[in-house]
Amino acid sequence: MDGVQKTFDKWAQNGRAELMEIEHGKNVTKFLDSVSFEKPFSFLDMGCGNGWVVRKMSEINNCKKAIGIDKSKKMIIQAKKKTTNKKQSFVHTDIESWKYNGKFDYIFSMESLYYADSIDIALRKIFKLLKPGGKFFCGTDFYLDNKATARWAGIMKIQMHLHSKKEWKKFFKDAGFEVKTKHVKDLKNKKKWKKEWGTLFITGTKPSK
């Protein structure tokens, strides 16, 4: 078991899973609410934690299925316990080694891609798992331009790849994505970085042809 799994297994038991839901909920909701889910779609949450995003997305009428995957077995146990409908399912795995034959319309990741052993390999796998025209939404508070969060790796004492916004965009382009970025700020938050920098969302679209 690696450090990331150990840490998140611990968090699943000590209430941090719920805290993450509260911490990220506002900006994630703001971002997802700006996306138009007009057509029937399938959804994957990579690094789903206790499954809160999967539950949220499965409530949209056009959602046909919502799957959550996580490296932490204990997070997946929590997510399964909280399941609210049959559209939802949860798998204990990481993106790189997951064997899945289907394709998704949308893949989502909040604060999880930077834990991957190789961002390049993870992004290539995500690209492969998307339908042509499908989108990957990647949210992160941990990026070089946001000076206040750069120290997180030292506090966490686990592998976290720190990159600038420019570097993130290059990773996505190199994997074959068309790239857009957006900052979602929490203007009423007491934390200065949440007000001024906010969450960086990188949207990678897989070309239709």
CB neighbours (10 Å) of residue 111?
Answer: 20
* Rounded CA separation 46/136 (Å): 10
Q: Supply the pLDDT for residue 196.
A: 67
Residues of the chain with confidence (pLDDT) below 50: none
Q: How far is CA 63 from CA 68, 85, 102, 174, 197, in A?
A: 14, 12, 15, 30, 31
Q: Supply the pLDDT for residue 153.
A: 73
Domains of the chain (ranges, CATH numbers): 3-11+38-205 (3.40.50.150)
The strand ranges marked E within the chain are 41-46, 63-70, 88-92, 104-110, 130-140, 178-184, 199-205
Q: Supply the pLDDT for residue 204.
A: 98
Q: Supply the pLDDT for residue 187.
A: 62
CB neighbours (10 Å) of residue 29?
Answer: 13
Q: Supply the pLDDT for residue 32.
A: 94
State pTM to two decimals.
0.93
Q: Supply the pLDDT for residue 124.
A: 97
Q: Which residues pair with 200 in a beta bridge?
A: 140, 183
